[in-house]
Amino acid sequence: MTVGRELARDERKGIRRLVTGWCANYDSGEDICLPLDGSCYMLGKGWTGSFCRYFRGSVLPLDPVLEKAVCEEGPPPDTKPCAVCGKPFLPEGRQAYCSPACKDEGNRRRSRERMRKKRAKPGQGCYDLGLPEASDSKGS
C-alpha cells in the first residue's frame, strides 16, 4: 500500500501558487474550481498522492522542482541552489544556474573575476623572446 507523506509547508505554498496562478480551471474571483463548482481540491491538500488529474498533468510540470518533490517516491530530489540567485533547481549535468538569464549573469561575473585576477598579477613582460645571451663576449 502506498501512503503519501505530509506535504511540507513550502510545497503546499508552491501548489497554491501554481493553482491560483496557472490552473485554467481555477476561478480566482469566486475562489473555486470551475468544473467541480466547489473549492479546489488541491488547495486543501496536506498529503502527497492522488493529485487532481488536470493539476498533475498540466499545472504541476510548470514547476519541475516541486513536481519532482511531491510526485516521486523516496528521498527529496537532488536540487542545487542556483549560483546566481540561490533558487533551487534540478541541474542537468554540470549546470550551475536555474535559468538562461542567471547563466548569462554568472558568465559575466566569472569573466569580470578573470579580468581582475589578470590585472592583479605582477609584471609579466615579454622578455622571454629567446634572444641569445649577449653577456659572454669572447675577444677575437
Q: How far is the CB of 79 from Zn ion (least distance, A)?
A: 12
Binding of Zn ion at residue 15 (CB under 5 A)? no
Given the complex with Zn ion, which of 15 and 102 has the nearer CB atom? 102
Quote the least distance from Cβ 15 to Zn ion, whole Å: 22
Instruction: Tabulate helix, strand, coil % of the chain (nearest 5).
Output: 40, 10, 50
85 touches Zn ion by CB under 5 A: yes
- The site string for Zn ion over 36-75 (x = CB under 5 A, - otherwise) reads ----------------------------------------
To the nearest whole angstrom, how small is the minimum distance from the Cβ of residue 71 to Zn ion? 23
Other CB atoms within 10 Å distance of the CB of residue 133: 6
Q: Can you tell me the distance from the alpha carbon of 133 to that of 110, in angstroms, rounded to the nearest whole number? A: 41
Give the total residue count for the chain: 140
Q: How far is the CB of 18 from Zn ion (least distance, A)?
A: 19
Of 29-37, 94-102, 110-118, 132-140, the segment contacting Zn ion by CB under 5 A is 94-102
Under a CB-based contact definition with an 8 Å cutoff, are residues 13 and 19 in contact? no
Query: Rounded CA gap, 60 and 53, in Å?
Result: 10
> Cα–Cα distance between 100 and 80 in angstroms, integer?
16
Q: Which of 84, 122, 127, 128 binds Zn ion (CB under 5 A)?
A: 84
